[in-house]
Amino acid sequence: MFINQALNELHLKIVYYGPGLSGKTENLNYIHKKIDPALKSDLMMLKTREDRTIFFDFIQLEVGRINGKKPKFNLYTVPGQVNYDLTRRICLNGVDGIVYVADSQIDRLKADLDTLEDLEKNLLAYGKTLENFPWVLQYNKRDLPSAAPVDLLNSKLNIYNVPYFESTAITGNGVFSTLKEVIKLTVSMVHERLKEEERAGV
C-alpha cells in the first residue's frame, strides 16, 4: 500500500501469481479490453517473442473511494516459468492482495502445487503468510476437456479455504468475479489497517 497525500490517492497492489502458462496474462488482457478507458492505464507487458512474461505485466485501475481517498489498483502478473523465481519474489514486494491462477488441466496439478509452495515461501520473505492474507484462487482453463474436477483441485490447493472461482480467461468467463472478490478482500484488509493506524495516531 502506498498513500500519495498530495493527490489524495491510495495505491493498492494486486498480483496474479501461478505456474507458467496458467493464464495470468490472459486475465489482464481481458480486464484491459473491458474496462472503461477513462478508468485505466495502458497495459504494459514485458514478454518474450513467444508471449511468455519475463518480468511482469501491469495495468492500473481506478475504483470507488476508501476513507475519502481515491484507490488505484495496480494489477501485476508474475512470470510463471520455474527459473524466474527471483523475479516472482521481487514482484511480491508491497503486495496487498493475490489472485492465484491455477491451471485446471490434470497434468498441471503438480505445477499448481509447486508454485503455491513457492508463493508461500516468497511471501514469507516479506513476513506475510497465506493463512492471514487477502487472496483468492482461480481455476482457469475450465473449457479444456482435460480440466480436473473442481472438487479435486479445491481439496489439493484450497488449504486455507479462500474464495475460489472457475474461469476461462480466453473468453473472460470468471475474470471479473475473481477480480471483484480480491478487490473486496484487499479493501477490507486495508480499511482495518487504516483504522488501526488512525487509532494509534500514526
Ligand X SMILES: Nc1nc2c(ncn2[C@@H]2O[C@H](COP(=O)(O)OP(=O)(O)OP(=O)(O)O)[C@@H](O)[C@H]2O)c(=O)[nH]1
Helix, strand or coil for residue 110?
A: helix
Q: Please say which residue, 73 or 165, places its beta carbon nearer to ligand X.
A: 165
Compute and round to an integer the Cα radius of gyration of the chain: 17
Cβ pair 100, 116 in contact under 8 A:
yes
Map residues 14-53 to x or -, x wherever contact with Mg ion holds by CB under 5 A: ----------xx---------------------------x
Task: Write down the least CB distance from residue 166 to ligand X, Å.
Answer: 10
Q: Please say which residue, 53 or 158, places its beta carbon nearer to ligand X.
A: 53
- Which position has the grid cell 507487458? 45
Beta-sheet pairing, 70-77 with 9-17: parallel
How many chain residues bind Mg ion (CB under 5 A)?
3
Helix, strand or coil for residue 108?
A: helix
Q: Please say which residue, 103 or 181, places its beta carbon nearer to ligand X.
A: 103
Binding stretches for ligand X (CB under 6 A): 18, 20-26, 51-53, 77, 79-81, 140-141, 143-144, 168-170
Cβ pair 35, 119 in contact under 8 A:
no
Task: Write down the least CB distance from residue 14 to Mg ion, Å.
Answer: 15
Distance from C-alpha of 83 to C-alpha of 35, rounded to nearest angstrom: 33
Residues making contact with Mg ion (CB under 5 A) = 24-25, 53
